[in-house]
Amino acid sequence: MSAFAILAKLRFLRGTPLDIFGYSAERRIERGLIGDYEALIRELVSALNPANHALAVALARLPERIRGYGHIKDANLAAAKAEEARLIALFRAPPQSALAAE
């Protein structure tokens, strides 16, 4: 039996304390990203309006940029997080029309 066949049969262990690959730093980061994304989506949905729809869509699509393995994925993650910070600041900023009316 090949190594991949053995790993396929042990698939039921994924996400459990017996998942030896789940302890790697990369997997811990990935699990953290899931929670961060869920929180971001909750924030976007709670404040969504026609004026910020495009920003919300851009923020929701950022995880598509986090691809690759090892140092490539790390670089893509850093770039996506920088873009996320920029877009979140724009999303949270008060509308310009409200500022101009004051």
Best CA proximity match to 51, nearest among 102, 99, 2: 99
Best CA proximity match to 52, nearest among 27, 3, 89, 1: 89
Tell me, yes or no, whether 7 lies in a domain. Answer: no
Q: What percent of the chain has pLDDT over 70?
A: 93
Rounded Cα–Cα distance for residues 86 and 102 (Å): 25
Query: Whole domain around residue 72: which residue ranges?
Result: 23-101
Summarised one tens digit per residue, pLDDT across range 8-20 is: 888 888 888 888 8
Tell me, yes or no, whether 9 lies in a domain. Answer: no
Residue 71 CB coordination number (10 Å): 8
Domain count, the chain: 1
More confident residue, 65 or 16: 65
pLDDT class of 97 with cuts at 50, 70, 90: low
Helical axes 53-61 vs 25-47, angle rounded to 10°: 170
Residue 84: what residue type?
A: E
Tell me, yes or no, whether 10 lies in a domain. Answer: no
Write down how long the chain is.
Answer: 102
Tell me, yes or no, whether 56 lies in a domain. Answer: yes
